Amino acid sequence: MRIFHNPHLQIASKKITSEVSLPNQIRCRKNYPWKNWGETASCQPEISFYPEKVEDLIDIVKFARNTKKRIRVAATGHSWSKLIPTDDILVYVHKLNHVEMDFSDQEKPKVLIECGATVKEVNNVLERHGYALPLNIVLESARFGGLIATGSHGSGWNNSTLSDLVHSIEIVIASGQLQRFETGIDDDEVMNAAKLNLGMFGITYRMKLYVQKSYTVRAVDRRAPLLETIENIKELIISHENCDLFWWPFCDQIWIKSWDKIDAEITAKPRKNLWYDFEAAITSRLFRETLKLLKRFPQLTPEMCKLFFKMTPSVRDDIVDLVEAIHYRRSIEVTKVGCLEIAFKVDPDFENVKKAINIVLEKNREYAAKGKYPLNLTMNVRFINGSQCLLSPAFGEGHTCFIEILSRADQKEWEQFSSEVALQWLKLPKALPHWAKEFEHIPGITTHIRREMGDNINIFNDIKQRLKLDIDNIFMNDLLMKIFLVKS
């Protein structure tokens, strides 16, 4: 193995913080511990900063450079992988949350989002103007800095990832300059690196995303026989603009969720409905407490999963706003879960999708036969179009299947089970893990990523070096170094 930039050399030459004074008037804390939502990553950085404006970001980056310290950003912390941990400087961007519409180009309206704005804050502005993003994650509490950095996705046969919606992005690079990358001004390859950079270009201050006029959709949820659905999956998926599948272990039915554009009056409850939010908050908490039982009594898993499936809102037919269709569940973050997700290109006949689903069904049966029940939530299958972002697991032409398994966090044998499933999934051509989900426990995963993504990683690194964005690798951490800076 060859290390391009030896991290130990850099650490040895770090300056003690007291030699360089802390940037004035930026709130900070020393040795304040951080951990992510899923409790799979943690750190105790020497200094945590709480910037409130772009000038603060610039001062913090200059401070990091002068003290030769590493620097990472924490948004909501909803990523499972160790993308955030650093011993040096952690920047909390929650207060940088301004959102405004940009109608300067009437043909292509956009929304300008500061990195700390949550999905909810962005939706509020968009909805006020009658606009929407065509896709999003279900959850509304994640922040755009994190969503764009990791290439997060929703679903939709003709949609790509959130990062693909980026028109321009402003990043504080290692020199302390605020650098703007803009479609039509910077070349496509640079844009495709900047739009999904895992925080390796620097601290994203804000980004502008393409938006569209909001519209109504027919949202249908139904239960269908599992085996028949798998058999006819191609016809099902390509007959809808959006179609997601959710399977609860031990159930012989599957939840099919679809939505398609329709010009009709809304028939569902209003989206901003306090009762609906309250109901979701209560049921999510009840669900969380019930799931806890499975840790003590895992043998109850098959019956409980059947019950959970029956309790899902998997039967309905309504006309709703597009935003409501996308964010159809509230309070999903109440229950801490483990989650592993990979992406691969869909075969013309969907044979590899069937295979990926069957891997989970078989592995679940195999474990159950031994009296083990590590999978107690769902398998989700979603489809999007290809991504242009160099580091996206959905990169390149062709539709992409994102398949994921979720289980209550701390479930015994989850690591073993999920890594066995992943090892089989990753044999599918060009399969790659979602950056934000669990993947570090999969044996040989860094070699796999470097092999499958190799050319794109090289192009990404070349761009970073050519543009002198981070010569001393101050924006890297251990996980990113292992994947991006070590050559086998």
Chain position carrying tokens 């679809």: 258
Sign of the torsion formed by the C-alpha atoms of 89, 94, 95 and 100: positive
Tell me which of 55, 100, 182, 333 binds ligand FAD, using CB under 6 A: 333
- The reply to whether 374 sits near ligand FAD by the rule CB under 6 A is no
- The residue at minimum Cβ distance from ligand FAD is 146
Tell me which of 23, 51, 199, 338 binds ligand FAD, using CB under 6 A: 199
Q: Tell me which residues in 99-118 interact with ligand FAD (CB under 6 A).
A: 115
Neighbours of 141 (CB within 10 A): 15
DSSP, residue by residue, 58-90: HHHHHHHHHTT--EEEESS----SSSS--SSEE
Give least dist CB 484 to ligand FAD, A: 12
DSSP, residue by residue, 194-207: HTS-TT-S-EEEEE
Instruction: Indicate the residue type of 129.
Output: H
User: 72 or 448, CB closer to ligand FAD?
Assistant: 72
Tell me which of 47, 89, 132, 203 binds ligand FAD, using CB under 6 A: 203
Pick the stretch among 13-21, 145-153, 362-370, 447-455 that binds ligand FAD (CB under 6 A).
Answer: 145-153
In total, the chain counts a number of residues equal to 488
Tell me which of 58, 61, 84, 476 binds ligand FAD, using CB under 6 A: 84
- The reply to whether 433 sits near ligand FAD by the rule CB under 6 A is no
- The reply to whether 73 sits near ligand FAD by the rule CB under 6 A is yes
User: 59 or 367, CB closer to ligand FAD?
Assistant: 59
Cα–chain-centroid distance for residue 133? 16
Tell me which of 138, 368, 467, 481 binds ligand FAD, using CB under 6 A: 138
Tell me which of 28, 47, 133, 142 binds ligand FAD, using CB under 6 A: 142
Give least dist CB 24 to ligand FAD, A: 22
End-to-end CA distance of the chain: 5
Give least dist CB 138 to ligand FAD, A: 5
Alpha-helical regions (H) of 216-273: 226-231, 233-238
Neighbours of 191 (CB within 10 A): 22
- The reply to whether 74 sits near ligand FAD by the rule CB under 6 A is yes
Cα–chain-centroid distance for residue 323? 18
User: 319 or 426, CB closer to ligand FAD?
Assistant: 426
Alpha carbon distances (Å) from 459 to 224, 379, 394, 465 = 45, 34, 17, 10
The token duo for 206 is 């804000």
- The reply to whether 72 sits near ligand FAD by the rule CB under 6 A is yes
Contact residues toward ligand FAD (CB under 6 A) are: 37, 72-79, 83-84, 93, 115, 137-139, 142-143, 145-147, 149-150, 152-153, 198-199, 203-204, 332-333, 436
